[in-house]
Amino acid sequence: MYLLMAFFALFALSYANGLWLLCHLRTVHPEVWAHLGQPSLMQTNLATPRLRLMKFVWSQQFRSLNDKALSRSCGLAMAAEIALVLTFAAFIAGAI
| Radius of gyration for the alpha carbons in the chain, expressed in angstroms and rounded | 15
Cα 12 to Cα 16: distance, rounded to the nearest angstrom: 6
Residue 55 CA: distances (Å) to CA of 3, 68, 87: 28, 19, 23
Q: Does residue 95 register a pLDDT over 80?
A: no
Q: What tens digit of pLDDT does each residue of 37-89 get? A: 999 888 666 688 989 999 999 999 999 999 999 999 999 999 999 999 999 99
**Cα-based angle 16, 94, 6 (whole degrees, multiple of 5):** 20
- The domain tally of the chain equals 1
Predicted pLDDT of residue 24: 98
Domain that residue 66 falls in: 2-95
pTM of the model: 0.89
